[in-house]
């Protein structure tokens, strides 16, 4: 389980890039995300997400 606390509207980083959290399902520990680049919705488990802050970015990050 992720040690991070997520909230609706929060920016986060996931395997496809950057997203906004649209809905949280506390019972199943999943979040519905809206991709910042494509606008598509994706579902990810909490442990697959990271808060969008400087410690999770690097100079070599490339998002498509």
Dihedral pair phi/psi, residue 47, rounded to 5°: -70, -10
Q: pTM of whole model > 0.85?
A: no
Burial bucket for residue 18 (CB in 10 Å: 0-12, 13-18, 19+): middle
Q: What is the pLDDT of residue 14?
A: 92
Q: Which residue has the higher pLDDT, 2 or 11?
A: 11
Q: Can you list the positions of beta strands (E) in 1-64?
A: 11-14, 17-25, 30-35, 41-45, 50-51
Q: What is the pLDDT of residue 35?
A: 95
Q: Where are the domains of the chain?
A: 11-56
Q: How many CA atoms lie within 13 A of 64 on its CB side?
A: 2
Q: Is the pLDDT of residue 28 over 60?
A: yes
Q: What is the pLDDT of residue 25?
A: 95
Q: What is the pLDDT of residue 57?
A: 55
Instruction: Tell me whether strands 50-51 and 41-45 are parallel, antiparallel or unpaired.
Output: unpaired
Q: Is the pLDDT of residue 1 over 50?
A: no
């Amino acid at each position: 389980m992720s040690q991070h606390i997520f909230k609706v509207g929060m920016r986060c980083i996931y395997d496809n890039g950057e997203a906004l959290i649209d809905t949280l399902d506390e019972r199943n520990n999943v979040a519905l995300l809206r991709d910042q680049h494509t606008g598509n919705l994706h579902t990810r488990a909490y442990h697959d997400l990271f808060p969008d802050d400087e410690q999770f970015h690097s100079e070599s990050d490339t998002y498509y």
